[in-house]
Amino acid sequence: MNKYVERLYNGVVKENPTLILMLGMCPTLAVSTRAMNGIGMGLSTMAVLILSNLVISLLRKVIPDEVRLPAYIVVVASLVTVTELLIEAYLPSLYEALGIYIPLIVVNCIILGRAEAYANKHTPLLSVMDGIGMGIGFTLALTLAGLIRELLGNGTAFGAQILPSGIDPIGIFVQPPGAFLVLALIIAVMNAIGIKSRQRDLVDVGCDGVCARCTAECKKSGEVNAK
């Protein structure tokens, strides 16, 4: 497989950030009340991810190793601010729906995780492809969770009525507990049909909470602990 196409496959299927790597749980749980919100959040995150991967990859030889995390945070925070202002100006209804979770893209584990694990070691073009792949994978997972919750909890899909009006939707699915339940069920189904993941088995989500240093440092600390 072409190595650029391979990045897309990797992001969407093999290392799906939400369902396999268990990264970016906060927005996944929070905004998946509607399928449209899932798409909006997914695409906003994807835009930030592609640009941050590009910038960090371009600067990978300039940023000194010791201060790389603060440098990445500044890059990501600036991009998020730009995105936030654009959404506020052009998509006010999405801005209302996502609220505080737009600025919180800064601390989304996926973005710093990819910067650390991929973009700072690879060429700009490959990093952009990685961002697109990861972004699509994240968007699909968010939309799937949003669709299930919207259908069960509100009887609609993308705003269109699906369930006949005689059936009462189960309101709890659009409330906070529904987020945990639906994600648990999606992962249980994946386990049942044999899609395994080391991260999920250990519930080492974001390597014990070290979001920013996810993949790369996780492995390191794992090796150290093993010794």
Partner 1 sequence: MKSLILIIITGALINNVVLNQFLGICSFLGVSKQMKASASLGGAVIFVITIASAVASLLYDYVLAPLGMDFMKTIVFILVIAALVQIVEMFLKKTSPGVYKALGIYLPLITTNCAVLGVALTNVQDGYNFIESVFSGFGTAVGFTLAIVLLASIRSRIREEDIPAPLRGAPIVLISAALMSIAFMGFSGLSF
Q: Which residues bind partner 1 (CB under 8 A)?
A: 22, 25-27, 29-30, 69-70, 73-74, 77-78, 80-81, 84-85, 100, 103-104, 106-109, 112, 172, 175-181, 183-185, 187-189, 191-192, 200-212
Which of 135/178 has CB closer to partner 1?
A: 178
* Residue 221: count of CB within 10 angstroms of its CB: 14
To the nearest whole angstrom, how small is the minimum distance from the Cβ of residue 123 to partner 1?
27
Measured distance CA(207)–CA(205) in Å, rounded: 5
Burial of 68 (0-12, 13-18, 19+ CB in 10 A): middle
CA atoms within 13 A on the CB side of 139: 18
Which of 8/138 has CB closer to partner 1?
A: 138
To the nearest whole angstrom, how small is the minimum distance from the Cβ of residue 203 to partner 1?
5
Which of 58/185 has CB closer to partner 1?
A: 185
To the nearest whole angstrom, how small is the minimum distance from the Cβ of residue 7 to partner 1?
24
CA distances from 49 to 19, 93, 121, 161, 221 (A): 18, 22, 16, 33, 25
To the nearest whole angstrom, how small is the minimum distance from the Cβ of residue 18 to partner 1?
11
Which of 71/157 has CB closer to partner 1?
A: 71
**DSSP H helical ranges for 91-213:** 92-98, 109-114, 124-154, 176-192, 198-202, 206-209
Which of 201/223 has CB closer to partner 1?
A: 201
What amino acid is encoded at 162 in this protein? I
To the nearest whole angstrom, how small is the minimum distance from the Cβ of residue 39 to partner 1?
18
